[in-house]
Structure 1
Amino acid sequence: MDNFFCWLLSFLLLCCVFCILGYQLICLTDLETDNINPYETAARVNQVIVPEFIVHGVLCSSYLFSGHWFLFLLSLPYLYYNYRLYSRNGHTIYVAEIYTDLNKEKKRRQHKFHYLVSMMTISIFGIIWRNIDNI
């Protein structure tokens, strides 16, 4: 039963990161369509970047401590990428450069989004597989 709760926790953490990235993409798309000004976009996106990094760090540590080595190894490059962004101060969006970096920022988040979709698929498969084993 513990393994089921580990899968459920990982699924919920993935959903949380998924929602944070979706929010960032929506803010950047609103800026692209000129529905929001660059100051608000930068403030909104910068406000949720560090919580995204923290939730993903908790997700990686939950994979490590629950013994899901394959998922831990799959999520390790993403964690390293987030660490490099944070250590080089490349995680924030600057208002003065927001229009020049808009496509790059959107693509960065879309790549993260696609990565999380694959991790979510693996997590759902693990939950179903664990429930089949218990029946």
Structure 2
Amino acid sequence: MAWEPILWLIFLVINIALISLVIYQIVCLTDLEADYMNPYESSSRINSVVLKEYILHGAFCILFLITGHWFISLLTFLPTYYNVRKFLSRQHLIDVTEVFRFIQSEKKIRIFKLGFYLVLFVLVLVSLVLSSINALVDEDDAIDFDSLQLPSFI
């Protein structure tokens, strides 16, 4: 049984969960900015998912490190360091009384995280497809993507 496609599928599910958590936070901040939601409700909703996002992202980084995917592990290390730094300085939760002061910067941070997770989504999806193709092909006939020749017209 090929374990590599299963690992990439787990990475894909974790990445989709991270994307959905960040989109939820952006929607809550946008609703607060448009005055559809009061600050208490918005900050309590965001604060309930922030720690889940941090833990899931830390697990994401550690799984890449354990499975030997060094490049993507290094890519995910910087946001993990940022999350740990914010958590240890107790700045990871949104304060109800000052939410309107920092709403634009909080939205920008989350939009940057969303872009980062979308780039990771593409990397994980491509890796899932390539590992699935390699797993389906017989061991003797495995595709070596490094030695593929481009057509002459390119």
TM-score, shorter chain, exceeding 0.5: yes
Deviation at 1:21, TM superposition (A): 0.5
Aligned to 1:119: 120
Deviation at 1:67, TM superposition (A): 1.1
Aligned to 2:150: none
Residue by residue over 1:63-90, the C-alpha shift from the partner in whole angstroms, topping out at 9 and shown as x without a partner, is: 1111111110110001001001101111
Q: TM-score, normalised by structure 1?
A: 0.97
User: How far apart, in 1, do the equivalents of 2:13 and 2:117 lie?
Assistant: 12
Deviation at 1:132, TM superposition (A): 2.0
Residue by residue over 1:19-53, the C-alpha shift from the partner in whole angstroms, topping out at 9 and shown as x without a partner, is: 11111001001001110000000100001000000
Deviation at 1:61, TM superposition (A): 1.2
Structure 1 position 128 matched with structure 2 position 153: no
Aligned to 2:8: 7
- SS at 1:133 equivalent: helix
Aligned to 2:108: 107
- SS at 2:35 equivalent: coil
List 4+ stretches of structure 1 deviating above 3 A.
none
User: How far apart, in 1, do the equivalents of 2:118 and 2:89 lie?
Assistant: 27
User: How far apart, in 2, do the equivalents of 1:105 and 1:126 lie?
Assistant: 31
**Is residue 28–residue 102 contact of structure 1 (8 Å, CA) maintained in 2?**
yes
- SS at 2:90 equivalent: coil
Task: Name the count of aligned residue pairs.
Answer: 135
Question: Percent of aligned positions with the same letter in both sequences?
Answer: 33
Deviation at 1:57, TM superposition (A): 0.9
Residue by residue over 1:5-27, the C-alpha shift from the partner in whole angstroms, topping out at 9 and shown as x without a partner, is: 11111111011111111110010
What amino acid maps onto 2:44 in structure 1?
A
What amino acid maps onto 1:100 in structure 2?
R
Aligned to 1:47: 48
Structure 1: runs of 5+ lacking an equivalent = none
Q: TM-score, normalised by structure 2?
A: 0.86
Aligned to 1:58: 59
What amino acid maps onto 1:52 in structure 2?
E
- Say what the alpha-carbon RMSD is for the aligned residues: 0.7
Aligned to 2:86: 85
- SS at 1:96 equivalent: coil
- SS at 1:95 equivalent: coil
